[in-house]
Amino acid sequence: MEATESGVSVQCVNNVAFMTCINRTGVDITVSQIHDEAWAETETAGGPPRNKPTIAALDNAMICVWNEKKSGALQWKVRDALDIPPLDRWMSALRVPLTNYISTLTIPGTHDTTAISDFPFVGCQTMTVQSQLMSGIRYFDIRAGFKGDKLVAYHGGYAIHGSGGFLSNVEIAHVFTEFANFLEDEIHRKEFLIVQIKQDQGANDPQEAERFGQAINSLIEKSKDLWLTGADVPTLEKARGKIQLIRRFPWNGELGIDVFQAWNENDNSDFFSIPKEDFSINIQDHWNLGWDFQCRPHKYALVKAQMDRANKDPVSKNIYINFASAVAPNLLVQSKDIAIGHRASPFDEVNFYEGVNPRLRAFFNNDAKPGHYGIILMDYPEEPGELLLAMIKTIFLELRTQD
């Protein structure tokens, strides 16, 4: 921390100390916080001040107030007081018992994780797997199948192209390597991932289905120390640095948490449950909205109802999987239109249909209560900006209210 001229004011909130002062030039007011037992890099709040700035805490925010030097006008800056680490390592700052189940967290995820495409009704993402990892995504929905001898990413019957263009495809082995490299990085050793794997090509052919399962199992065996392939919900302690498998393909024997046969494809009820021995998996996956002219608000209503169920469930081991993704193909409404919204028509500058993602951001910024909201799988989660931050901030708000 640099030497200061005057005006030091300190306030504590959520077990974090914040300080404001006038820097030694007497020009700017700077704000800093204690992080990992050291003062973090300062940031400028404003200035020059007439008198000593004051810092105060209100509703998990720090407010720095001062008078402008010349006019005496009241000035202020508001700063989030939650001690949230960079999103690529948000799990490392969790302050909860490691005996808690992973199902007690709100976990951001992506639907059709690898589906980067401009082809109609295929594309669901623009962020690469690496970008998703660094943005705080921790649940990955992998759809795959064989193209020749290679196991590659699919969305439906469409093989997803790789970075090499139309002559390349996204190989699942490469995706698994990205997961492994991320978790083996020293700063990510306390993170965990949940990976759901589904066969999207050749699933109706018994021989192809068997071949698919053998190929996935072989890939997992190559880095078996990283994978959790048991059928039970792990604790945070067991999950750290690991990948929990959710299996949506047939397999004789135990290989991850099995949801294959009991998954109701495009279930049009509010949700469905898959009972296990001492927990349940509760899924909202109504993705084809057909002729629904109110598809965006109706889809958000399904998502919100599932979040509410997760938040109110007293059984901490129960898993809630909640797809915020959908299409309305009969209306030519694609996944991006559902996710982020779109104009009523290309020529309409006034009317805009709000998507699911902006509604989610508004909920997590303004209305979320303490408690978890399950696993939320999104298309284009980087839009609108700070959606992922809003979700993750809620986790830390919940944890601080329990301190």
Q: Which residues are catalytic?
A: 111, 155
Across-strand partners of 288? 327
Q: What are φ and ψ of residue 118, in 5° steps?
A: -95, 0
Residues in CB range of 114: below 8 A, 6 or more apart: 125, 129, 142, 143, 153, 160, 170, 175
d(CA 48, CA 328): 55
Helix count and strand count (H, E) for the chain: 8, 24
d(CA 165, CA 151): 17
d(CA 122, CA 55): 50
Residues in CB range of 3: below 8 A, 6 or more apart: 24
d(CA 20, CA 10): 6
* Dmax (CA) of the chain: 80
